[in-house]
Structure 1
Amino acid sequence: MTSALVAVVAVALTIGIAIVATAPGRSTDTERAAQPASTATSGSAPGGGRRSAATLREDFLDRYVRGGRVVRTDQGGDTVSEGQAYGMLVALASGDQRRFRSIWSWTRQHLQGDDHLLAWRWTTEGGTADEQSASDADLDAARALVLAGKRFDQPAYTTAGKQMASAILDRETAQTDVGRILLPGPWAATGQPYAYDASYASPVAFAVLAKATGDPRWEQLERGSHAVTGTILANAALPSDWSQVHQDGTVDPMPSANGTGGPVVYGWDAMRMPLRYAESCTASDRALAGSIAPTLQRNTQLAAQLDLGGTAVTDSTSALAYAARAASEQATGSTTAASRDLLRADRTAATTHTYYGDAWAALGATMLTSDVLGGCATSSGGAS
């Protein structure tokens, strides 16, 4: 598969910060912001209590998977690599070998290129609509494949996961003075400063793939990602959806991957960061997730987007917002508070179903109540 990358030459913003190269045609922040978001509600989830992670997973698979394709029903019926990877993780966690096989088969046939990475977007009208890969999807898919190879006793999955893992290291990472970092895609490797999304980094995925491949670059990636995320949180109460990382490791918060657009926010992307780090088996990673809990706990109701100081910039909310706060709370040992927020995430997802919200209601509950995806954030506060 030939990448359609058109690199944008870095220029200076009016405040003197460089704009990083971006992948044309990809605007996940805009699309997520456009999806219907629930108005904050009170009360309990359907049935009176929080649904188990297993029930949330089954609901996601039944609602969005059609013939192996994870359909974004609330966004025009297209499919993105991120969704396929989520589907694989959800099916894996449920032990649903049939649906895992179906989702991976569709993904391999329609999205995977000769470089083993996944094209980002596919539509019913034209097939592959954007051939560029997204590292968060590639990383989640590789993790799912390696774990599925063991759980389902399918060596072919392990092989496919290891091939994808090598491609991620080769094409979607960069070396900086503070260590190796995960780039959002191959397009971001064209020049410095590097576009960076802290929520793409997954310490558990790094560990799973390090063990499977024996490649020392995964440990380098864990150290570099931790260092950059630590710098981000040392300079702001919350991580931004996007940042840019300079060669010396300094970091600037950005409004988007290319430095243009609206305000810098903690939103649809950044909210995944505490979930990724809270499930880690490393205490220092969990500490990063826990560090944002005080800011998120200022108000019981959470908006879908906050500024980096924790002030709401929208009236709507999302299931992911509560799952993210649950992760930060659990990382500090506050399992009761985490359980309450997982209930809020469930309730919000049930109020207005969206592909993204339902995916993270299921994944968040799974990551925080089970070690089935390779993590260590298990809690007595939830059923898996």
Structure 2
Amino acid sequence: MWQRAKIVVLALGLIVSQQVFATSAWDSYKARFLMPDGRIIDTGNNSVSHTEGQGFAMMMAVRNNDRAGFDKIWTWTKKNLQNPQTGLFYWRFNPVAADPVMDKNNATDGDTFIAWALLKAGTQWNDSSYLNASDAITKELVARNVISFAGYRVMLPGAKGFNLNSHVNLNPSYFIFPAWEDFAKRSHLTVWRDLINDGQKLLVKMRFGNTQLPADWVSLSADGRVTPAKEWPARFSYDAIRVPLYVKWYQPTSPLMAPYTAYWGRFSRTQTPAWVNVTTGDPAPYMMAGGLLAVRDLAMGQLPAGEPQITAQEDYYSASLKMLVSLAR
């Protein structure tokens, strides 16, 4: 009996210690990037804000059971970024500009994360207002950003500027499979299953050059061909690093992880290039660190135990990747 009680005490201690770690990482993140009004600042980009960052942080708040933090971030996002005509969100906020939201386009990764966090919040805290807000956003996402093209159902990166008739430009890091899965379960709409299935098919086709990795931006032609989009460098880089993160989050044993583990397996952990040109094979002249390395560790099964360490030197994106990796695990 005494031995069993000892085991129970040890298990409770482990649970408590994990909760302390989670609070510590989230507190560190908030201290670095959350402004008192609810705005998340991109410290690597002149302290502008993005819907991506607002959505990331809303999800972190839910997972850390921080309703006050969640409400603060969501309230600022609604007030400053929500487009009253569409219900979606202006993708970028520059606090020092005459018009902080000069570009009125949306970014579907940010919209998706905001809607996903609201869905999680509504379920966790039994609040229908969050669920209704999530449903309204996903309805507009489908209406304004999802199209059928070249035999695939795809979500455009934004409502404007990506459907060029002869081809569409896609960002595979916007294929947020675990969110789409939750939207499918919530709505029972087949469009979300179509996006998941066709997104996975497209990732198989987006294996370029010797690396077999996707580029940050990819063009899908009307005849079904895919090529690195000519408007951006042909790199597997700071956008596409999220592709294996979301694949792993959605399905830990997915065969779609194979190109990433194969490529990264060519290098030792500390000598893995931060990015690579998928056309030429030329690597970055510097190595992975911070959040990039956390994604590699997750993919390779080398993620250390415990919560991420958000250092004083860490910029917003690196810290965000670390936190997302922790959520995915």
CA shift, 1:143, in A, is 0.7
CA deviations over 1:123-167 (Å, ceiling 9, x no partner): 222332321100111111111111111111111111111111111
Does residue 226 of the first structure (1) align with residue 191 of the second (2)?
no
CA deviations over 1:326-355 (Å, ceiling 9, x no partner): 2322xxxxx3x2338x99xx57x6373101
Match of 2:116 in 1: 143
Evaluate the alpha carbon distance shift between residue 58 and residue 191 of structure 1 in structure 2; reply closer, same or farther with a 3 A threshold.
farther
CA distance in 1, matches of 2:149, 2:45: 37
Name the count of aligned residue pairs. Answer: 301
Secondary structure in structure 2 of the residue aligned to 1:199: helix
User: 2:292, 2:318 within 8 Å by CA — same for their partners in 1?
Assistant: no
User: 2:44, 2:317 within 8 Å by CA — same for their partners in 1?
Assistant: no
Match of 1:215 in 2: 189
Match of 2:299 in 1: 328
Does residue 280 of the first structure (1) align with residue 250 of the second (2)?
yes
Does residue 193 of the first structure (1) align with residue 162 of the second (2)?
no
Does residue 291 of the first structure (1) align with residue 252 of the second (2)?
no
Q: Which has the higher helix share?
A: 2
Q: Which has the greater radius of gyration?
A: 2
Evaluate the alpha carbon distance shift between residue 100 and residue 177 of structure 1 in structure 2; reply closer, same or farther with a 3 A threshold.
same
TM-score between both structures, scaled by the size of structure 2: 0.84
Evaluate the alpha carbon distance shift between residue 324 and residue 249 of structure 1 in structure 2; reply closer, same or farther with a 3 A threshold.
farther
Runs of 4+ in 1 over 4 A off after TM superposition: 51-54
Where structure 1 has 5 or more consecutive residues not aligned to the other structure, the ranges are: 1-50, 330-334, 369-384
CA shift, 1:112, in A, is 0.6
Match of 2:106 in 1: 133
TM-score between both structures, scaled by the size of structure 1: 0.73
User: 1:290, 1:328 within 8 Å by CA — same for their partners in 2?
Assistant: no
Evaluate the alpha carbon distance shift between residue 108 and residue 312 of structure 1 in structure 2; reply closer, same or farther with a 3 A threshold.
same
CA distance in 1, matches of 2:227, 2:207: 11
CA deviations over 1:206-237 (Å, ceiling 9, x no partner): 11111122221111111111111111137652
Does residue 363 of the first structure (1) align with residue 303 of the second (2)?
no
CA distance in 1, matches of 2:69, 2:113: 16
Match of 1:20 in 2: none
AA paired with 1:63?
A: R
Match of 2:231 in 1: 260
Match of 2:157 in 1: 184
RMSD between aligned residues? 2.3
Q: Which has the higher contact order (CA 8 A, sep 6+)?
A: 1
CA distance in 1, matches of 2:22, 2:294: 12
